[in-house]
Every structure is written in structure tokens, then in C-alpha cells.
Amino acid sequence: MSENPQPQGGSAAAVFDEVGARYEEAFADVPGQLAALAWLTGRLAPAARVLDVGSGTGRPAAETLARAGFAVTGIDVSAEMVRIAREQVPAARFEQADVRTYRAPDGGFDAVCAFFPLLVMDQPEVAESLARMASWVAPGGSFAMATVPGDIRGLDIVWMGHQVTVSSLATDDQLRVLEQAGLEVAHHHSALYRPHGPGAQPEEHLYVHAHRPA
């Protein structure tokens, strides 16, 4: 598990409050994430509205997108992550919010990106949250996501020194949820990534690029 999983409840949010800036150090320069951001920036019009779900420290996603001239909103359940992001990426807007209850503005967003925000929740919530994020993509808009795939429910693991319980969906199920939500998948692939730091093990990442027909 990596990047910025979306915590489930206050105790899990506290984990990410404690991890803070160490998260950015452990998961710097993830090739698939950088490629997804390049894909998004190549598709979006100037001043496009972009939502970054599970925005973490603001780097690299919100920072890259804001630097490209887009109007970026980041949401994260961790107050500490939001604080760091506001300091590091003043050109974007960040708020403390949970993907499961967040209400998108009327008209949605020109793009939504979600890099590993759905892992620390129950499996039915993963599917529901994925569909919610897809529904926020406006007609003609784009969607980019990454996760650790697998038919996983309620698996207890140690992540950056903290006990967390994770769930996910198999790749085919991830794609099916997006397609049922009206998105067209343009590209998907899996890749191994080894986080920085002692004892880190390689993990499988799934990347998906999609769009909503105009």
C-alpha cells in the first residue's frame, strides 16, 4: 500500500496526521503517477477545474497541476496533510473532506485524479467511492487514478509503522465500476514500485486513464 490511502474514521486519520511529510519522502517520483499527471495536463484546457482526491502533502499531483495553470482543489481527511499542502502548494485550494461524503460543486470538474485514496476502507466503500469520483467528471472531462489492485477485504497490515486495515478491488472490477459510471477507459496498466526507505517491499500499482464522452 502506498501514497495517500483515505483513512477510515478519526483514528485512521490520526495515522496520516502522524505520518505527515514522511509520506512524501517515502513515495516520491512514482513513474506511473508522473505519467498520469502528464496525460492529464496534455488533455486539459487552460484554467480547467481539477479535483485531487486524497491530496496528501500536495506533491506531486496538486503542485504539478497548479503549476500548469489549472484551478486545483485537493481534499484529504487528514488535517495535518491539508496543513502541509496549503503551505507547499499555495496556488491550489485544499480542504479537509472524506471522499465518501464530499459534495462536488454543480457541474463537477473537468478532471478528477485519485492516487491511492481508497485503500483504508471496507470493500463495498471502495466501489461506492470509485463510482462517486467518476460521477464528478463533467462531460468531456478526464479521470486518472492509481491503486493497489486485488480482491482484498479487511486485510491488516503495517504501513509506515502503523497498523491499518485495507481493502481493494481486482483490476477487472475497478474498470467495471468506472465503465458503469459512464467513463470510457482509455488506458490501464500495472507496474511494480518499491517505496523509499528501509525494509520497503515492491508492490503492484494499477493505473487507469479514462474520460467521460462529451
Q: Tell me the pLDDT of the chain (214 aa) as tens digits.
A: 444 444 343 345 665 666 655 666 667 789 999 999 999 999 999 999 999 999 999 999 999 999 999 999 999 999 999 999 999 999 999 999 999 999 999 999 999 999 999 988 999 999 999 999 999 999 999 999 999 999 999 999 887 777 888 899 999 999 999 999 999 999 999 999 988 877 778 899 999 999 999 9
Rounded to two decimals, what is the model's pTM? 0.90
pLDDT in the model for residue 4: 44
Residue 31 burial (CB count, 10 A): 11
pLDDT in the model for residue 196: 83
Q: Provide the residue type at 90 as one letter.
A: P
Report the distance separating Cα 82 and Cα 72, nearest Å. 14
Report the distance separating Cα 200 and Cα 184, nearest Å. 34
Least Cα distance to 60 among 78, 38, 93, 43 occurs for: 38
Q: Which residue has the cell 513513474?
A: 31
Report the distance separating Cα 131 and Cα 152, nearest Å. 18
